[in-house]
Amino acid sequence: MSRSSNALDAVEAAVAAFARGEPVLIHDAADREGETDIVYPAHAVDADAVRRMREDAGGLVCVALSDRVADAWDLPFVQETIDHPAAADHELAYDERSSFSLTVNHRDTFTGITDDDRALTVSRLGEAARAPAGIDFASEFRAPGHVHLLRAAPDLLGDRQGHTELAVALAAAADLPPAAVVCEMLDGETGGARTPADARAYAEREGLVYVEGADLLARLA
């Protein structure tokens, strides 16, 4: 089977898995962050999913939202709202800007950090993204909280090729609400990014789909 056929199979498998509510591993690019994220449809996240991200991935649990959803909820880029010298110069080695918006908890959570609490916040964000205009965001969520929100670029992969956009594009391809959880996979021994080979091996052990960001970009952009 040719490399292009393998790439197409991986993308199709990723879309199908996402549509079933299953996580997918996405490696962005060696010349970008060079990281693999475990990615879930936000509405499908439960406490077990949060535990997997916490124990097996180890990065930040973030919810990537489409630009349309972020606009409906009036979500800013957080660096544009901070009146502090640390926010004045925000150059990134791998991109022009950060996608970070607010941090939030659902108002029915207690501390917001437990697996159950974060699962409630994440899953409700996913459900709310189905019809964002009908949601009074401030009545349902409070900030600051323990779940980081990421605002995707308006034209998704046409504007930016980060995990934020790859995850939202995957949700669109799977005909799901435009809200997806991303969590960086770290090496438990070194604390650095898990290598693509290690991430692929993890996916094989766990029966999950691993896909290259370049292949998603080629098929979904």
Catalytic: 106? no
- Label each residue of 155-181 as H, E or C: CHHHCCCCHHHHHHHHHHHCCCCCEEE
- pLDDT tens for 4-35 read 567 779 999 999 999 999 999 999 876 566 78
Q: At the topology level of CATH, where does 3-220 sit? A: DHBP synthase (3.90.870)
Catalytic residue among 105, 106, 148, 210: 105
37-64 mean pLDDT: 98
Percent of the chain with pLDDT over 90: 75
Catalytic: 189? no
Which residue ranges make up each domain of the chain? Answer: 3-220
Catalytic residue among 6, 55, 80, 94: 94
Catalytic: 146? yes
Residue 111 has pLDDT above 70, yes or no: yes
Catalytic residue among 28, 40, 62, 163: 62
Catalytic residue among 12, 22, 46, 146: 146
Catalytic: 40? no
User: 204 is written with which tokens?
Assistant: 């094989």
pLDDT band of residue 2 (cuts 50, 70, 90) is: very low
Catalytic: 183? no
For position 20, what pLDDT does the model report? 97
- pLDDT tens for 77-87 read 887 887 778 77
- pLDDT tens for 121-157 read 999 999 999 999 999 999 999 999 999 999 999 998 8
- Residue 51 sits at φ, ψ, to 5 deg, of -60, -45
The whole-angstrom separation of Cα 107 and Cα 151 is 21
56-81 mean pLDDT: 94
Catalytic: 62? yes
Catalytic residue among 28, 33, 35, 37: 37
The whole-angstrom separation of Cα 29 and Cα 189 is 22
